[in-house]
Amino acid sequence: MLKTINNEKIAAEGYVYVSYGHTKYLKHTLASVSTLRRHDKTRPIALLCSQKQKDLLLDKGLDWYFTVIKVIPEEHCSIVGFKHNVYQYMFFDKNLYLDSDIVWCKDPSPLWQSLSIFDFTITGNLISDNFFGSAKGFGVFKDIFLGRRKRTLKKFGLTYLSRVQSGVMFAQDYSVTKKVCQLASEMLNRKSETHFRSRKMEQGRSEESCEWSLAMAMSKLNIPVYPWLQGHNSPQLDYISDLTEHDDQFEYVTCKYYNNDFVYGLRGLKTIYLRKILIRLFSIIPGKGDFLVTTPYCLHFGWLHEKQPFYSFSENVWRNIVELHSSDAAVDKSIKARK
């Protein structure tokens, strides 16, 4: 059912992507959208992008991939800038905000149904681990020894801290969404009072994280996360090369999913050999080595060392759709010439 806001017709449910900076991010978005349209051909898709990227879409004749295209203000062209302000971009009654490095693997309709009970939520785990937003590597042991995580929670009046994965965010209540975003911004401004580290200190990262501040805001406001790891019903799973099987176009995807959260958490180790040894070790305990083979709604290329397959896929998608449009345009021009 459509409604009209500011003379624009928008639907009850829709997807929102954002793209700015290098052109490669626009290519990533189009690649993600191409996989989404395999499984959902009806729900509209909104794109927030820079003026340069909008002009490129228009020039290439690719704007038809999106129902709504809006130029995003410069101050929102960052991870924090956008995700701490999603309440300003609620184009639909129910909005699903998505990272561009996502491949859709199956019909999202059941996911929409389960998300609809929330006013606002983000995929995540109820309890965050000690690495969430804090020191990486052996530095985390210092935080644990000094009780920094506990002190942060006490200082901000929190009794728990969830782990959010903001690649998938959902919002349908403007007031609640605005409260979360504004409180998250306040939390980020008080970073020096917490144990959290700037993500820009990590190799390969150039932008600040929005996740720990959103997690703190949601905890403060008693807003639940949407369970990230749900076995066959998982909204998204990480792409890990040796745990994922797929064809070149990602039309057929399966993931090896360990049922024990701790064992499955080892997937982030870069050294495959070490991970396999640890899993074999923990599998001595009955049930720890149990796994299932499943297809998530989304396959997320969130790990820096696992992104290359998606980069290659997005370049192929871009080349194919540009060539297809050029071919169609040439045919149209030929037909008009004959007339």
What pLDDT does residue 334 have? 43
What pLDDT does residue 255 have? 96
| pLDDT tens series, the chain, 339 aa | 334 444 454 779 999 999 998 999 999 999 999 999 999 999 999 999 999 999 999 999 999 999 999 999 999 999 889 999 999 999 999 999 999 999 999 999 999 999 999 999 999 988 777 666 665 555 556 666 666 778 878 888 888 888 898 899 999 999 999 999 999 999 888 888 776 776 555 555 556 788 888 998 999 999 999 998 999 999 999 999 999 999 999 999 999 999 988 888 888 788 888 888 988 898 899 888 899 999 999 999 988 889 999 999 999 999 998 887 665 554 454 444 445
What pLDDT does residue 191 have? 81
Q: Where are the domains of the chain?
A: 3-231, 236-294
What pLDDT does residue 111 have? 96
Whole-structure pTM value: 0.87
In CATH terms, 3-231 corresponds, of 3.90.550, 3.30.70, 3.90.1340, 2.60.40, to 3.90.550
What distances in angstroms separate CA 98 from CA 18, 139, 229, 237, 276, one per listed residue?
Answer: 8, 31, 17, 14, 31
How is residue 124 written in tokens?
Answer: 């995540």
What pLDDT does residue 183 have? 94
What pLDDT does residue 323 have? 81
What pLDDT does residue 136 have? 55
Q: Is residue 129 within 8 Å of 212, Cβ to Cβ?
A: no
